[in-house]
Structure 1
Amino acid sequence: MDEYYSAIQRLPAPVRDALAQLPPAFAAQVHEIRLRSERPIVFSTPHGPILAPNLLPKCAGALQLSARGLQECFYSLCEKSVHSYESQLSQGFFTIPGGHRVGVAGVCRTTENGRNSFQTITSLNLRVARMLFVPLPPLLQSSLADSFHGMILAGSPGSGKTTLLRSIIKAASDQGKKIAVVDERQELWPCDPWGNVPHIPLNCDVLSNCPKAGGIEMAVRCLGPQIVACDELGSHEEFRQVEHGIQSGVGFICSVHAASMDELEARLERSRSKLRAFFSLCAFLEGAQKPGCIREVVAL
């Protein structure tokens, strides 16, 4: 059964039961479920946004959310334990079992400890996580050899960076490399409360729900990896820990939100020549229309 059906399980019964009527062939194409106050639910698909009531007219009433109905969806997704997700919510999202990430929009406020929180929720973006793998081109396969230096996977949102990163991690593990994965958003290999991580490669250790900067430091110090992998590298502190790790002889595979070399340099606040000291190549992805597919591989 497609992961779409597991992603909707925490929603209130009327909404969940209505969304569950979606035929499997179409459910497999849904990568986001957009829930907004006083508006109908919208599916994000490779063919663009599609109104849920248009596909499920018999359930149209349950698929048009009131402001109160959206709040109920939020509390239901949190299992009425908002404080358990306080750290993630301060960054504008939270992750539910299965690695499904919920993006949040609304009226923000700053708490006494300086964190952001939400006073009112106006939108939720439930992103369907799928444990997918893609074949790697020969250049990426060969780059994982003994002389591995480092690799960046760059692309726009929805381009399949996480899928490609997961595939490279598996390939490196299959080659016998020891890999530590810092999975801050629990999307690469979602871990349940009992520590079960399905489909994890043999030579891979996962730091789940761990902030990247601290997780990279922990992995390098304590897990003895040859490679550290992390998704969505961005902050100055995260890159500083990457620098320290490379100085310790560890290679890195990191994804970055960037569709071009100019965007990559701006995102990481480093020129191409400076990035060369830490990474040997960068793979740019095609985009949301061809998730996980590589447009070009650039030597740094």
Structure 2
Amino acid sequence: MWDAVLQWLPGSVRAVLGRVSGEWPDRAEEIRIREGRPLELVASNDYAFVGPDGRTTRQPEGAFRPSRDDCLKLLDRVTNHSVYTMEEQLRRGYITVPGGHRIGLSGRAVLDRGAIRTLQQIGGFNVRIAREARGCAAGVVPLLWNAEARRPHHTLIVSPPQRGKTTLLRDAARLLSAGGWADGAGFGGERADRARKVGIVDERSEIAALVDGRPSFDVGPRTDVLDGCPKAEGMMLMIRAMSPEVLVVDELGRPEDAEAVLEALHAGIAVLATAHGRDLADVRGRPSLAPLFEAKVFGRIVTLTPSGPTGAVLDVRDAEGRRLEAPPARPVNIRGLGGST
């Protein structure tokens, strides 16, 4: 994965990072490239600057400093040599490249009637490295089964940024699509682990990372993906066009997202989603998601630890906020996770 990410970087930066040894290539979550400032690597609760020889240090002095030309070449590469065709992505402040890696951007905002229209004078890049972690949701998916409805519970995965939400969501989609995750157990008279039709609405191209119509990640054999579409519109389109049994979306946050989830509920479709938040109380307090909690939509709420190992599950609770059971003896741990989180 490290080598695949380096291919997106300009030659001088790529050469420096290609000299990095030790554990950093395996555990780096972000590569921070700032014009004229120290090149930085970031991992869970850790960081290091990188010298021209590839050595890592906590001291910014002597670190490699990307030039203006380096930044222009990187921007040209990630926008496929046409900044103007990427205005929507620039307005959002990031570009997702093949492989699901998200490149955050910082620079000068250009406003139109008080709203951001695009970014200019871009001199800061945050390359968030996406990694697949097959099997990381194996201990969680059995807890999501709704025996009464004979389908998975509507589920919300909660954590701060970069703690593993998207990776856990992706693997849950894969397991539900592939089936066979319950070791042959029967739940409420039906095999809960039969393969399901799964629909992924991938607004940021991070869950499946579609390239030329094909997912970059394994999201299961019975999964259909709608890429680059706003979640609310995408959920309605997926319901009408692909009749999924399970609908998967990332990062609920707008009122229209909540409305679309309610529509899916009325259609009898299980929804698996994520939301940013330090804990359950934090997410409950968000006005845009309040209607979902008031209606007790989510039968299962999975919270990831805000610190410690990336991707470790803190607990799984029901709609009333009651803890179901302790997480598996070996906590889900997406080691070295970065990027699509």
- What TM-score results when the alignment is normalised by the length of structure 2? 0.79
CA–CA distance in 1 between the matches of 2:76 and 2:112? Answer: 19
Q: Which residue of the partner structure matches residue 128 of structure 2?
A: 127
Amino acid at match of 1:6: A
Q: Which residue of the partner structure matches residue 240 of structure 1?
A: 259
Structure 1 consecutive aligned stretches of length 4 or more whose deviation exceeds 6 Å: none
Q: 2:279 aligns with which of 260, 264, 269?
A: 260
Q: Which residue of the partner structure matches residue 166 of structure 2?
A: 162
Q: Which residue of the partner structure matches residue 23 of structure 1?
A: 21
Q: CA RMSD for the aligned pairs?
A: 2.5
CA apart distance, 1:202: 1.0
CA–CA distance in 1 between the matches of 2:138 and 2:132? Answer: 20
In the alignment, structure 1 residue 5 sits paired with structure 2 residue 3: yes
Query: What is the 5 A alignment of 1:174-213?
Result: 174=179, 175=193, 176-193=195-212, 195=214, 197-213=216-232
3-state DSSP class of the match of 1:245?
helix
Amino acid at match of 1:100: H
Q: Which residue of the partner structure matches residue 97 of structure 2?
A: 96
3-state DSSP class of the match of 1:107?
strand
Query: Contact (CA 8 Å) 1:160, 1:287: kept in 2 or not?
Result: no
Q: Which moved more, 1:192-201 or 1:94-103?
A: 192-201
CA displacement 1:36-91 (0-9 Å, x = unmatched):
12201100013511001187159x99931234432332222223222232222211
Query: Contact (CA 8 Å) 2:252, 2:273: kept in 1 or not?
Result: yes
CA apart distance, 1:6: 0.9
Q: Which has the higher helix share?
A: 1
CA–CA distance in 2 between the matches of 1:63 and 1:104? Answer: 20
3-state DSSP class of the match of 2:92?
coil
Amino acid at match of 2:167: T
Q: Which residue of the partner structure matches residue 75 of structure 1?
A: 76
3-state DSSP class of the match of 2:27?
coil
CA displacement 1:145-188 (0-9 Å, x = unmatched):
52423000000011100111012112211231111001111111
In the alignment, structure 1 residue 149 sits paired with structure 2 residue 153: yes
CA–CA distance in 2 between the matches of 1:194 and 1:223? Answer: 16
CA apart distance, 1:275: 4.6
CA apart distance, 1:212: 1.2
3-state DSSP class of the match of 1:39?
coil
Query: Contact (CA 8 Å) 1:157, 1:288: kept in 2 or not?
Result: no
Q: Which moved more, 1:140-149 or 1:13-22?
A: 140-149
Query: Contact (CA 8 Å) 2:248, 2:272: kept in 1 or not?
Result: yes
Amino acid at match of 1:158: Q
- What TM-score results when the alignment is normalised by the length of structure 1? 0.89
Identity of aligned residues (%): 25
